[in-house]
Structure 1
Amino acid sequence: MRVAMLAIDGAFDSGLATVADVLETANVLRDEIERPPPPWEVTVVGTRRQVRTAAGMRVTTTSVEELDAPPQLLVAPALGVRQSAAVVETVGAARNRPLLDLLARCRSEGIELAGACTGAFFLAESGVLEEQPATTSWWLGPTFRARYPGVDLDTGQTLVRGEGVSTAGAAFAHIDLALSLVHTQSPALADLIARYLLIGDRASQASFAVPTMLARNSPEMATFERWVRSHLDGPIRISAAAAAIGLSERTLQRVTAATVGMSPVEFVNEVRLDEAAFLLRSSTLTADAVAARVGFQNAGTLRALVRRRRGMTIRELRRGATRA
């Protein structure tokens, strides 16, 4: 398969390297299985002959016009930035317009597209994710929803496959994305690579999301989050919370959905779970005591929430496990 990876100034070093490494490992191991798929031919493509990555390394690229043949898969770039405003500024910059045009053109020609982390912003900015399911880094969810309301975003997922386009979550989900690309050609080879490289299962980003960081993207949400934390040890009525922060219940529902993709009740539970995880890891309180501190009548309710949202037990959560 001919794979083109886009690279621009400020590209996330590990993102580029990870995709390339997984696909090269596939080439090395493909003869270890019966009926191996064709090899992957990876080309780094850019609008300039050489780009500088976020870590300062220089990468020589091939221009689109110099490609010997059209790619069968085009992987959008991820950026080595940590501020949502910088992501938006970069994807909307005039200098990167050729990349967006390339993505749109490849989409119209039926070429498979993929992107991880901030790479999903390039896909969305080009219009190829409109009315498509997608994911991105959990902490970029509020900004993504505000800028691309026509995309069916689910930041709870690490990997989302739409019609001819795949997206993956936070930065090191590049591993999951690359492995899924191999899986489409050979599940057996993907399994071999996962074992060879010690790649674990990260089916969800939920266990990594921090409610406080998500709420920062909206003044109303930040106020709601602070109010919830100050009332965690008792029952929380959404109508009372809305009134306390000067919003109607309908407005609070709308703001919560637009900012974090949840209902107010779901967000309250995320805050409860975030506080419970902190208490379990930093104290010797029993599960029942922790449950009471975050507003649950008993540990059974907390256990069910931990299992549903984190995919683990309270004991695993207390140990600091990150299995999802």
Structure 2
Amino acid sequence: MRVAVLAVDGMFDSGLSVILDVLATADALRENAEAGDQAFTVIPVAVGPSVRTGHGLVLATTPLTEITDPPDVLVMPAVGVKTPDRIVDAVRGHPALDWVAEGRDYGAALAAACSGTFFLAEAGVLDGLTATTSWWLGPAFRARYARVDLDERRTLIHDDRVTTAGAAFAHIDLALAIVQQHSPALADLVARYLLIGDRPSQAIFAVPSLLATADTTMTAFERWIRDHLSEPLPINAVAHAIGVSERTLQRTTAAVLGMSPVEFVQEIRLDQATFLLRTTQQSVDTIASAVGYQNAATLRALIRRRRHTSTTEIRRGNASFGSEHRKHGRGARTGR
């Protein structure tokens, strides 16, 4: 299996390394898994003979002009830039885009993670498909690539021989998915060998306040919700309070976040509930009331459905919630 890893200047170092290391491990272990004789041949490719990574390391690459046969799989790791605008600038008009589109035409399987998904979308190969990207890039991705059915709440999506993965360390999931498509038994062996866990959703990492900054209406919506979190929040009343119509609020929330206003209210309530579970000893009933639910059962059910975990696991610290939640409790609004 010939895997071409498309490298560009400023790429995310760990994303590249993870893909190379997981595929190398798969190649080394394939005899143990009886995965056949087909080796994983991994070739870093680029526009020129080398690229410089985001941390300044120089990677020797095979120029695209020297690739005579299309690879079986083309992988695009993330670009190591920090803002959506800079990511769009990095992919817009990139000379590798035509090669990506040609690879799709020749039948190569495609894969990308985090900001690398912007390369696939910019090349047009995600049009009409369902894809994911890093949760904080969702609004920018959705605004630029309206023909892609984006679901950034999922860590990994496979649609019509195109695999996309979410945030930066989802490169692990992406590389393992490539191995799994070759041999499920080998993928299982690699996962156990490298102690790779199962992370089915990015929702536990998404910080609603950061997502809302993509639009002024969403910013006002998010702030109003947080200031009235323990109260009933009928959407028509909230829309009126921030100076827009309910229909405008529904359209804006769908366009920016890909969810309904009610779903966004739930995300903010879950965000604050998580903060309280992790940083206080308040009972679940007290926390449920503080975030607008009449009883703990409703909060527990929502956490199971939307976070794939439990209040007990969150309180123990076993769910992978980021420390950034701490800055979103009451009294942490300075500078916003």
| TM-score band, normalised by shorter chain | over 0.9
1:156-195 alignment to 2 at 5 Å? 156-195=153-192
Match of 2:129 in 1: 132
Contact 2:35–2:186 at 8 Å: present in 1 too?
A: no
Q: 1:65: how far off?
A: 2.1
Superposed structure 1 runs of 4+ greater than 6 Å apart: none
Question: Partner of 1:292 in structure 2?
Answer: 289
Query: TM-score, normalised on structure 1?
Result: 0.97
More displaced 10-residue stretch of structure 1: 28-37 or 305-314: 28-37
Mapped contact 2:77–2:171 kept (Cα < 8 A): no
Aligned-partner Cα distance in 1 for 2:32–2:147: 43
Give distance in 2, aligned partners of 1:15 and 1:157.
Answer: 18
Indicate the residue corresponding to 2:254 in structure 1: 257
CA distance in 2, matches of 1:146, 1:37: 44
What secondary structure does 2:42 align onto? strand
Q: TM-score, normalised by structure 2?
A: 0.93
Provide the C-alpha distance between the structure 2 equivalents of 1:77 and 1:105, rounded to a whole number of angstroms: 18
8 A contact 1:310–1:323 mirrored in 2: no
Q: CA deviation at 1:35?
A: 4.3
Give how far 1:37 is off: 5.2
Residue of structure 2 equivalent to 1:59: 59
AA of the residue aligned to 1:132: L
Gaps in structure 2 of 5+ consecutive residues: 322-336
| Secondary structure of residue in 1 paired with 2:30 | helix
Displacement after TM superposition at 1:321 (Å): 2.3
Tell me the distance in 1 between the aligned counterparts of 2:69 and 2:262.
52
The alignment partner of 1:208 has SS state of coil
Aligned to 2:309: 312
Structure 1: unaligned runs, 5 residues or longer: none
Distance 2:147 2:312 in 1: 40
Q: Which residue of 1 aligns with 2:230?
A: 233
Distance 2:243 2:320 in 1: 39
Measure, in 2, the Cα distance between the counterparts of 1:144 and 1:320: 31
Residues 81 and 87, structure 2, Cα contact 8 Å, conserved in 1: yes
In structure 2, the partner of 1:105 is 102
Distance 1:67 1:221 in 2: 46
- Counterpart residue identity of residue 257, structure 1: A
Q: C-alpha offsets along residues 64-94 of structure 1, whole Å, 9 cap, x if unaligned?
A: 12235321111123111121111011111x4
Q: Does 1:220 align with 2:217?
A: yes
2:193 maps to 196
RMSD between aligned alpha carbons?
1.2
Which AA in structure 1 matches 2:26? A
Structure-2 separation of matches of 1:76 and 1:313 = 34
Q: Which amino acid aligns with 2:312?
A: R
**Separation in 2, partners of 1:99, 1:221:** 35
Name the structure 1 match of 2:45: 45
The answer on whether the counterparts of 2:135 and 2:152 sit within 8 Å (CA) in structure 1 is: yes
Identity in percent: 56
Match of 1:15 in 2: 15
